[in-house]
Chain A
Amino acid sequence: MFLFFLLPILTLAIMSLQSGDFFNGFVFTWNVGNYSRGISLYSEQYLHAIEYGGAATIVALLVAYPAAYWIAFHAGPRKSSYLLAVLLPFFVSFVIRTLSWGVLLADDGPLFGPLKSAQLLPLDFRVLATPVAVTGGLAYTFFPFMLLPVYASLEKIDRGLIESAQDLYANRFEVLRRVIIPLSLPGVFAGVLLTGIPAIADYVNQDLLGGVGTTMVGRVIERQFEVSLNYPLAAALAFVFMLGLLATLLLYQRIFGTEQIMGD
């Protein structure tokens, strides 16, 4: 715990309060300016991260839940084959997957090119480099992290409880609403965390599918570290990001309760 969690965080915290530059060395000076500068410069990118990451999580949930529901309850004895079929694309490296989405969605790519020349789409129609592309990419990238916990929680539901509900006059919709959904919430919560956290922090999707206007804070941090070599600023940005995430998690837990997250 100390070695792999507290130590890196402590290092990051110290680094975020340093000043100086890469070539002349950094010194610790309680330089809180890193924080104010970071937030004022990149507030828009923070917002993008929350917007795209949040939207992607919702999209992933809306697609994963019905899919998981169908596999768990209506796929018969071949459940695992269906599950595997849904997850198969994700065995390919996600960089390659995202790149191919980029190719597919390009303005004159195989999808829109023909539609445009057939005048079915306006010439300035585009998906690539828009928030839609980034959100879609994120939702797609982290889809398994939503599908699997949701599926696991649905699969775990005692089939007898569904019969109990039917016995007590619940029709299909009410069975779903009163029994299946409540009992699958632990999986939904887990899925939202597992999808949401990496989606918000992601910097690959917006790089490959987004444009100048869709930069997310994860990308900024990466750039500050790798290109600008401004370690203190990068550390400060990352720290703000982490604290924000932590606060959200605590709030999340407050609202829904550990009991819900942990299950019965």
Chain B
Amino acid sequence: MVNKRFHSVTLDASKCKGCTNCLTRCPMEAIRVRGGRAFIMDERCVDCGECIRTCSYHAKVAMTDDLGIIENFEHRIALPAPSLYGQFYHAKSIAVIIEVLKHIGFTDVFEVAKGADIATRMLQEELKNPDRPKPLISSACPAITRMIQIKFPTLLPNIVKVKQPMEVAATMARAEYSKKHSVPKDEIGVFFITPCAAKVTAVRNPIGQEKSEVDGVISMLDIYACVFPILNKITPDENIKIATPYGVGWANSGGESRATNINKTMAVDGIENVANVLEEIENGRLRDLDYLEGAACPGGCVGGPLTYENKYVARNKVMQLVSELPCERPEETVPCRVLNSYDFKMDTPIPENCSMQLDEEVSTAIEKMERINDILESLPGYDCGSCGSPTCRSFAEDIVRGYCNITDCIFILRDRLKVMAQQMVDMSNTKRE
């Protein structure tokens, strides 16, 4: 199932008008418009979903699994991301939301917020390790991790080596269910309910581990549609044990930092904002910071591209639900037994992604850069996107990489046509003489 080129975010070519709206908004400069339609450059896209938000024609879509996929297993566990709790404004408690999932086909539910509780404990341990670089950078948002692989490779050592809460939860869910019901592990299907495309890609093409523990990823929008009509008819089991307020709090930007219970943390949301702060860290600023929590989405996961509810409403709903939980910390609820008997540390390195590089050889890259600079001088510098590249600089780079031609610039083309027209006039004049 591992596929290095897989991306959840894809283009529905039948809907794309080639309008260039998404082109300039992609934080990775990963989109090009050629021949009247957009293309996503696989090696640069981080599945942040920004283009899904901006496309007025809904031509950018996130590939997820259909809810029907759960039928492949007799035993099916739902793993709701904590951001799901913010989607239901009228839900009386988290218990109701957990219960309702059992009414749409799941046999059991394991909260990803519990995975976040465990991840919090692991994170606290890693923060105590004096050999780790500062600040440590959260590994929870896969879009941010991928951006670091491409744009900030010098910060790769700073990424926390703890698996994402989704993976932690999947491992725990499967193990506990298997033990409790005496079912072989491979007969249990574990399904993540996702707020975003980045997590879908992170399951198909895992970060820091060989293989994902998740068997399928279902969009929060699809779940919302099934759950909403029946939510009020549900009587929950109020005795079930919910994750701590800190684990649930991971849904909002700032939640992770609060969970660590240390002071020198910083939470940044919105992928461009995170990029700016990473830039500062690379410059050696923020030296006294211990932890950076970066979320690609505005507001954190409650602002994910596959959520239904307005992100501010969702944020507040999560806070309200959290305030009704018993005041417990992960240190109290996560038993040492769990930390000792499972390994939730990443076990494969997170490599640099060299897709920004002009060439493998520095000397050839320098030659290419010289050509780019020469071409750039002849371009108007409007960054208008009409050529199909996001900026004049990226257009010059695309020419040198062999992706397009200088006359794709409408201003260059116009000038050339003028010259040609003049030459034709001159030519016909000469003939007449």
Q: State yes or no: do A and B come from one complex.
A: no
Residues on A facing B (Cβ under 8 Å): none
